[in-house]
Amino acid sequence: MKIEDGKGTGYQAEVDGEHKLEVSAVSRTAEHHANHDHGDAYSAIFAVNPDGANDCIFYLKNNDDLDLIIEGVTWQTSGAEEVYYKLNDVGTAVKTNGADIVPVNLNAGSGNAANVTCYSNVADGAVDITGLSGGSTIESLYLTSATSGYINAEQDIIVPKNKTFSIYCVGGDTLLRGTVMFYFHKHEGS
């Protein structure tokens, strides 16, 4: 059975006996589409020496109209440490110790810059981002001594405009390095 395209062009599509449309298609991930077609995928690299226990070591606020989607975080640690991720911290982030982080575009041909506020530190610098409260813990990880690896966000972490993503350490007595991988994407439909 064949169906018309509905646009009057005369194009037809084949439908099998179970009413399934027969297609030959190439599929790709949303993050590949955002990076390749829109040049809107980024990495934010940090290397910190937390000032103390329960310090905020990474802060990311989405200032863009598009949703910011976090794919995961690459981790490297010099010793055992527990970290946790939070969404929707409120307040004004203050870099008591820390630096502005400029996320790097993952498409060498794109001139786009991530429309975010991002604080952490680099070169194993001291960090403590204060002025935040509330929020919801969405992930807790125990990084074993001298570990290195990628932690995928299985359901993706979605950060709409004016919302935040932050990372805290529990012990604050080890060097932590990481890369937060994210892209921007327009929500299609509802």
Q: Which of 133, 130, 102 is nearest to 116 (CA)?
A: 102
Residue 151 has pLDDT above 60, yes or no: yes
Between 9 and 123, name the one with better pLDDT: 123
pLDDT for residue 143 is more than 60: yes
Kindly tell me if the per-residue pLDDT of 190 is higher than 70.
no
> Would you say residue 160 has pLDDT above 60?
yes
Of the options 2.60.120, 2.30.30, 3.90.1720, 2.40.160, the CATH number for the domain spanning 33-185: 2.60.120
Nearest residue to 176 via CA among 50, 71, 60: 50
pTM of the model: 0.88
Cα–Cα nearest to 107, from 46, 34, 156, 159: 34
CB atoms within 10 A of CB 24: 4
Query: What are the angstrom distances between the C-alpha of 129 and each of 56, 73, 119?
Result: 5, 19, 8
Length of the chain: 190
Mean pLDDT of 150-175: 94
- Spacing of C-alpha 123 from chain mean position: 21
pLDDT at 189: 60
- CA–CA separation, 157 vs 189, rounded Å? 19
Average pLDDT (79-99) is 95
Neighbours of 49 (CB within 10 A): 18
